[in-house]
């Protein structure tokens, strides 16, 4: 088995373990990305087998909603169910305090909205997502309204970022909300809360991929099995 397949196996094991926290009657937030897909499929199987019933799911992206429908998982929205019992999602980086970088899948805005409405946020992934400090490997995605791209990019550069507009098939990537994403490479981030505030301070920034103090647990798969992390 090659390295990519091994990592996917670790992700699947972590995602399936996280689904063990779901109980019948819950409202469940479904994350976006390759790891979250494993959780969606595991949830769908449990529903089809009758081991879980009366689940309502809140999807964090159109792609996630499509996958959930394929598994016949009932969907609703936060306007109908404003409190989510548990959200299961992946992450691009996880630091020792369970602060995260998320958004390489392009759904960071809805992911953060759903996470903040959740009683529990379980982050799943493979061991390569663990870092000593945020920004070691992944950029911080910043969602921006298209009208503000150039001035916001200049502002992000003034904060020390190397800014790369995200592309998709030769055009600017567009989020489900019709915005663009500027991927910001800060290298290791020395003060994530300060950066969080600086990003929020600029008009035109819709949201960013620093998820600080949001995760309640992380389950990480690796060669030695599953590791359960608390903040």
Q: Which of 67, 111, 143, 207 is catalytic?
A: 111
Which stretch of DSSP H or E encloses residue 200? helix 192-200
| Contact (Cβ atoms closer than 8 angstroms) between residue 122 and residue 216 | yes
Which stretch of DSSP H or E encloses residue 207? strand 205-208
Classify 187 as helix, strand or coil.
coil
Is 67 designated active site? no
Measured from the Cβ of residue 8, the count of other Cβ atoms closer than 10 Å reads 17
**175-195: string of b/e by CB count within 10 Å (b at 16+)?**
bbeebbbbbbebeebeebeeb
Q: For residues 184 and 164, give the distance between their C-alpha atoms in angstroms, rounded to a whole number.
A: 7
| Contact (Cβ atoms closer than 8 angstroms) between residue 118 and residue 58 | no
Question: 3-state secondary structure string, 72-104?
Answer: CCCEECCCCCCCEEEEEECCCEECCCCCEECCC
- DSSP-derived pairing of the beta strands 100-101 and 210-211: antiparallel
Question: 3-state secondary structure string, 135-173?
Answer: CCCCCEEEEECHHHHHHHHHHHHHCCCEEEECEECCEEC
Catalytic residues: 111
């Amino acid at each position: 088995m090659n390295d990519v397949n091994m990592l996917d196996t670790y992700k699947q094991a972590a995602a399936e373990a996280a689904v063990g926290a779901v109980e019948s009657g819950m409202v469940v937030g479904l994350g976006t990305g390759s790891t979250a897909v494993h959780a969606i499929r595991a949830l769908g199987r449990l529903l089809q087998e009758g081991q879980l019933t009366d689940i309502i799911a809140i999807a964090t992206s159109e792609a996630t909603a499509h996958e959930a429908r394929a598994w016949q998982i009932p969907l609703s929205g936060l306007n109908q169910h404003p409190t989510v019992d548990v959200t299961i999602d992946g992450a691009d980086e996880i630091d020792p305090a369970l602060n995260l970088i998320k958004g390489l899948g392009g759904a960071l805005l809805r992911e953060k909205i759903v996470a903040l409405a959740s009683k529990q946020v379980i982050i799943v992934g493979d061991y390569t997502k663990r870092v000593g400090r945020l920004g070691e490997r992944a950029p911080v995605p910043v969602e921006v309204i298209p009208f503000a791209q150039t001035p916001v990019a200049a502002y992000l550069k003034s904060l020390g970022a190397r800014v790369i507009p995200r592309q998709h098939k030769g055009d600017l990537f567009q989020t489900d909300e019709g915005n663009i994403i500027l991927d910001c490479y800060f290298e290791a981030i020395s003060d994530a809360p300060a950066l969080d505030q600086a990003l929020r301070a600029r008009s035109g920034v819709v949201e960013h991929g620093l998820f600080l103090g949001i995760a309640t647990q992380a389950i990480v798969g690796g060669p030695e099995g599953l590791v359960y992390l608390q903040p």
